[in-house]
Amino acid sequence: MNKPILYENCLSTEKSRLKALNTILQWIQVPFKKNDSIGIKLHWGEIGNKNFLPPIYAREIVRWLKENNFNPFVFDNTVLYSGGRRDGKQSLKTAETHNYSQDYLGCPVKIGDGLDGKSVVDLPAGFKNFEKVQVGKIVHQADGFIIFSHFKGHMETGFGGAIKNISMGFASRAQKQRMHADAKPSLLEAKCVQCGECVAVCPTGAATMEENEYPSYDLDKCIGCAQCIAMCPETALKIIWETDIKIFQEKLVETAAAVWKIIKNKTVIINALLNIVAECDCLPGNHRSIAEDKGFIGAYHPVTADAESIKLVGADCINQAHRNIPWGRQFEYARQIGFDG
Ligand code: SF4
Ligand code: SF4
């Protein structure tokens, strides 16, 4: 992990945050050419999420790219969940609601795997879990990328930063499912208030509930998307991992590594260590803060950027938020497969 990296701290004011981001932008040596189209990969937040990054930082990156004669656009892919980003049309509406709009940002807002989620392509991987991975065609449709990630906790990966933004972020819905397929719900009846939310959000009909009964989950129909677990207001659902939980961390890393092989010479990484909460921007709600704002990191490799982010936030902080997640396997496995900067 010896590629250059820059950390710029800030106070929790917008002025200080923008100043720190601009220091990172001035430092970056972009591998882009004049008039290149540059995709900014980011997450505009699930409907009802209160912790996603406000669009002002993306707008600043857009402004800086345009000033330097590049042609930016921002994008994200469709997801497995039945919330506000399941198809491209819904997702663009969600983006608009969160002010990630062309009007505000000053550049187009796109869906990386197409409005119907079918604009996808297979990439060779050659790893032990995935021979190939399927991602949005956007991977071949930009001259360069900025991976702009909100660093925070995550219930399945411990933390979410650049690795996850490249992996789940570029993955097609099918690839997301291939990664998630091992996480299924298990009910703690004592906590369940029979509200039916898990049934309402289940995209496959695997979760059902008879009147005055506890819900049940047909694990044959379950695609392991963990949406019910995420949406349960009583935390009455726990994840049962059908295989070793470390395998999920490996699958995440393999997908990121396959994408990285394609984009590594035309990509820079920016992690925003702001609003550091326990859970992902994929979940509705206002999540518990687990660390003070730290600032921004600029880097040329996602593993380097995430390792530095963990160092700044503190591994204990991530461990306390997600006690049973072996997130360290991501770094160990990245090293093992030569995806470590
Ligand atoms: S969402 Fe949670 S509390 Fe509501 S029915 Fe499902 S398991 Fe029970
Ligand atoms: S039961 Fe399975 S498919 Fe349905 S929401 Fe839960 S994890 Fe997803």
pLDDT tens digits, one per residue of 17-75 = 999 999 999 999 999 999 999 999 999 999 888 999 999 999 999 999 999 999 999 99
> Would you say 280 and 155 are in contact if contact means Cβ atoms under 8 Å apart?
yes
**Which amino acid, residue 25?**
L
Q: What does CATH list as the number for 183-241?
A: 3.30.70.20
Give pLDDT, residue 3.
62
**What string of DSSP letters covers 1-40?**
--S-EEEEE--SSHHHHHHHHHHHHHH------TT-EEEE
CB of 232 closer than 6 A to ligand 2? no
CA gap 160, 318 in Å, rounded: 10
Which CATH number, 3.80.10.10, 3.40.50.300, 3.10.20.30, 3.40.50.11440, labels domain 5-177+245-336?
3.40.50.11440
Q: Give the residue whose CA is nearest to atom 2 of ligand 2.
A: 222
For the full predicted model, state whether its pTM sits above 0.75.
yes
Q: Tell me if 193 CB under 6 Å of ligand 1.
A: yes
CA-based nearest residue to 189, from 226, 229, 155, 234: 234
Query: Distance from the CA of 186 to the center of ligand 1, in angstroms?
Result: 11
* Amino acid, single-letter form, for residue 244: D
Cite the residue boundaries of each domain of the chain with CATH code 3.40.50.11440. Answer: 5-177+245-336
Instruction: For residue 229, give the ligand nearest its CA.
Output: 2
Q: What was the pLDDT predicted at 219? A: 87
Residues of the chain with pLDDT under 50: 1-2
> For the chain, where do the domains classified as CATH 3.30.70.20 start and end?
183-241
Using DSSP's 3-state secondary structure scheme, residue 328 falls into: helix
Q: Is 295 strand, coil or helix?
A: strand
CB atoms within 10 A of CB 169: 26
Looking at residue 173, what is its pLDDT?
Answer: 84
User: Can you give the pLDDT at residue 82?
Assistant: 65
Q: Supply the pLDDT for residue 1.
A: 42
Give the pLDDT confidence score for residue 2 in this predicted structure.
47
Cβ of 32 closer than 6 Å to ligand 2, yes or no, is no
Q: Is the CB of 185 under 6 A from ligand 2?
A: yes
